[in-house]
């Protein structure tokens, strides 16, 4: 059984959460550590931004970690350097997640990446690496979100381009992902556990 997700709590916290002073942005909510592969997000966004005619769209990182200065130095070396915003760790990132064009996860490995489920609850489409555990299962092998090969920033750039330019039916994907949330409902999971014990 999955870990239960409190859908109502996430939605209520999103209402009171602080946002950011821009309307057109992608977000990445993750620890800034090697396993999260933030460099792929940086390079993927940079390629997307250049291929899109340098639109006024931002890439916001929510989180902190021992690689923050390293990732910021990479960001400052790229042509899209003015589009990157590192806001640090937030107790309530849901306001930023709710307002994003898409949420990005670029990990090399995961267990059950809760951030993908939280994004689904908030009605924000996910773009995720299809690393060994978690994302493919949560996102229905691409039915409930977009997937790219870990470390492949060119594929990520294409996903960003497709979502930004509405080359895919994002609304349909969000509706499908919303229906798939029942798997994480607390009552549903309790029933599964009771059945297993019986």
Torsion region of 29: left, alpha or beta (phi above 0 gives left; psi -120 to 50 gives alpha): beta
In this prediction, residue 184 carries a pLDDT of 72
Q: Which of 103, 59, 104, 63 is CA-nearest to residue 83?
A: 59
Helices and strands (DSSP H and E) totals, the chain: 9, 6
Q: Give the global pTM.
A: 0.90
DSSP category for residue 32:
-
Per-residue confidence in pLDDT tens, the chain, 198 aa: 466 678 888 999 998 888 888 889 999 999 999 999 999 999 999 999 999 887 899 999 999 999 999 999 999 999 999 999 999 999 999 999 999 999 999 999 887 789 999 999 999 999 999 998 789 999 999 999 999 999 999 999 999 999 999 999 999 999 999 888 877 765 665 565 556 666
In this prediction, residue 20 carries a pLDDT of 87
In angstroms, what CA-CA distances link 124 with 95, 119, 172, 187?
A: 11, 5, 12, 24
Separation of alpha carbons 2 and 79, rounded Å: 41
Burial of 194 (0-12, 13-18, 19+ CB in 10 A): exposed
Contact (CB, 8 A) for 163 and 141: no
In this prediction, residue 111 carries a pLDDT of 79
Q: What string of DSSP letters covers 177-192?
A: HHHGGGGG-HHHHHHH
Separation of alpha carbons 12 and 163, rounded Å: 26
Q: Which of 56, 46, 61 is CA-nearest to residue 154?
A: 46
Torsion sign over Cα 32, 122, 154, 86: negative
């Amino acid at each position: 059984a999955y870990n239960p997700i409190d859908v109502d709590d996430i939605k209520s916290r999103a209402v009171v959460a602080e946002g950011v002073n821009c309307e057109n942005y992608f977000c990445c909510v993750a620890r800034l550590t090697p396993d999260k592969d933030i460099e792929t997000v940086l390079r993927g966004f940079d390629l997307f931004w250049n291929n899109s005619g340098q639109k006024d769209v931002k890439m916001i990182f929510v989180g902190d970690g021992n690689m923050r200065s390293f990732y910021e130095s990479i960001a400052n070396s790229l042509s899209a350097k003015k589009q990157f915003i590192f806001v640090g760790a937030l107790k309530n990132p849901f306001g930023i997640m709710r307002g994003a064009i898409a949420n990005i996860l670029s990990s090399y490995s995961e267990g059950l990446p809760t951030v993908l489920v939280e994004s689904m609850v908030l009605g924000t489409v996910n773009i995720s690496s299809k690393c060994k555990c978690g994302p493919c299962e949560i996102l229905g092998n691409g039915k409930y979100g977009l997937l790219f090969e870990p470390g492949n920033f060119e594929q990520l750039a294409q996903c960003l381009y497709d979502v930004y330019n509405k080359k895919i039916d994002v609304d349909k994907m969000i509706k499908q992902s919303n229906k798939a949330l029942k798997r994480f409902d607390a009552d549903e999971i309790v029933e599964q556990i009771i059945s297993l014990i019986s």
